[in-house]
A and B are shown apart, each in its own frame.
Chain A
């Protein structure tokens, strides 16, 4: 009688260890399950996008797929990268806003090739090697409080912001915010693209650095603090989060800087380690289908639209090209973060 009990205990322990080991390796922010508990198949999605935004999409997808459930795991973009690059975590599709890290995954052979009418219909700048696919394009904006800017001319460009902050340091001190690139993959991408794009961004960083800026890990937190009056200006906020929460006519104002406004491509890839790559491919096709794109747009993520990029002359899409790999280089990353911190963080 003792032996089976011991054996069962050992087996249970092994199971716990096996389940616990990968789960403990990368940090999960949120985990939800959609669909029936006893579904024979499960699609595992690893994503940086908040569950609330994706939920309508997931439910619509499941409606046509009886016998399918979805595990939706939300993690920071750096954790998504680490899970796939270093830990071979088994997900069927990986969705991330950190284009550079997704690019690095695809470049280093961690993504599967997928060709379908939907992916081939994407413009060439929105896919890379049939491994990495953009499904939403989001402007990177500044948000400001009308009340906070009372009596000041409304800025249009980064230079305007620099001038306003220089001339009114007391009004802005402690009330400006931006991403901390040390904490957020998207924030790092925006900061590096800014640095690449113009010298004004360094001036902006230095001026903000002198005003005791608040640093954030997520766009949602910056919007919340602006609405709460703790901030009157935040830069490099995801437009897709800001626009629905700061309605026109309210206190919060969304500014697409006229000198240049980066456009982030939210991308998906099917990991090499996927256990059900067919499910991942099916979900990707759904994302790129007219209905998927409509649901994404309804959730606040602008669908892929080349015409909009051509019409908005200030819009600068961040391109899916090997240049993105440069700032993923550890030396380059450390060097950039050192310089950024020197400009922004002053004790």
Chain B
């Protein structure tokens, strides 16, 4: 009867995916940032050495009467070896004239100003080079001239270091992502835990338990729980209205019928002639049948209702059979039918709804009594079998009369040989529905030597 919810996506997956996406973006940003910072740091280191070399060379510029002289210090180039094994180029200009060095080493786009070196990257001899340009004014033959010193170095070592750092950054990014992914899984689980707990709590409730959910829930779940409680309140009210309705209906039908029957009996006793008495007897019989039919209708309604709202308990079928037999004894006595109850040995316990099973037994026995001729015997056997209990009700009535058992158990369908007996056609339907609700089995066969054999099996669990 439970309808599984139709899932449309998963909050857990959506939560996980968005957190993983966030982690990926953050890891990527971290990688780019670290790599960028590392590349700048490496470049700054190389710039610092290049700048120092440029300044050291520029400081050896000397103005003389013949022009400008330069004595390049050994350390200026030697220190460039500290960065790595990179090619070194240089150029010293006085004004626009190259004094010494590589005459085709590119000049900066704008001349360097002040004492600070100007750094730029360019291509020289098919390699990327970093250049520091330093400008200084020197006196040449008494007149100030501008001297420019360019010191250049290829970037092989710097790029190798930057590459190593980039690899480290990538590892760092991956590590952060892995950690974030782990945290995302843990977080998703802990965030959704209250939902799972709530579902479990509601699922575990008994069928009759329609009390509002009282457990504390996170703020986000409060509207859902409030709505659920409201729904359960309405359901509870509707159910109690149904129960009340069934009880009232039984009362409203049975009470007037009882009054009619009492009045008819009085009339029967006071009837002046046989014709009136016979008419009154048939009225009484019709009222009895109507009362039975009303009871069966109510039984059926109860069975349908209980099937959805059943309360299972351990039931001793022997005891149940005894009480049902006792209840029907007066009706059987009326037709002088012997009710023979046989209860087998051992535990005859099944798990099920008392009202349902009682109703099934009562209808089986009632049917047997109803369709049996006077002075016959109806035998009720309760016996333990493998996996459950078997209830056999055998009579010497008119049998199935060629009808299919399946047709007889359909609602409001009656056999073809029972027109002289008033019935609702609901009795066997109730038995069949109880058997189904209890996951048991019900079979109706002709009994050898005449009559009917109703065979109901109920599983122990």
Contacts and interface: CB of A to CB of B under 8 A. Distances in A.
A332 B85 contact: no
Interface stretch (B76-84, B416-424, B430-438): B76-84
Contacts of A129: 85-87, 156
A17 B71 CA distance: 42
Contact of A322 (B70, B80, B99, B100): B80
Interface of A is mostly: helix
A124 to B, nearest CB: 8
Interface string B59-98: 0000000000111111111101100011111000000000
Interface of B is mostly: mixed
Contact of A323 (B75, B99, B101, B156): B75
A325 B70 contact: no
A331 B98 CA distance: 12
Nearest to B73: A326
B81 A331 contact: no
Contacts of B77: 321-326
A67 to B, nearest CB: 36
On chain A, which size bracket covers the interface? 10 to 19
A332 B71 contact: yes
Given A330-B100, A331-B100, A335-B69, A196 B74 contact: yes
B87 A107 contact: yes
A343 to B, nearest CB: 16
Interface in B109-153: 125-126
A326 B125 CA distance: 20
A230 interface: no
A323 B74 CA distance: 5
A324 B77 CA distance: 8
A322 B81 contact: yes
A54 to B, nearest CB: 28
Nearest to B89: A107
Contact of A321 (B81, B99, B101, B126): B81
25 contacts: A107-B89, A108-B125, A109-B87, A319-B78, A319-B81, A321-B81, A322-B80, A322-B81, A322-B88, A323-B74, A323-B75, A323-B77, A324-B77, A326-B73, A326-B74, A326-B76, A326-B78, A329-B72, A329-B101, A331-B70, A331-B99, A331-B100, A332-B71, A332-B100, A335-B71
Given A129-B86, A330-B100, 13 more contacts: A319-B81, A321-B81, A322-B80, A324-B77, A325-B88, A326-B73, A326-B74, A329-B100, A331-B72, A331-B99, A331-B100, A332-B72, A335-B69
Interface of A: 107-109, 128-129, 196, 319, 321-327, 329-332, 335
Interface of B: 69-78, 80-81, 85-89, 99-101, 125-126, 156
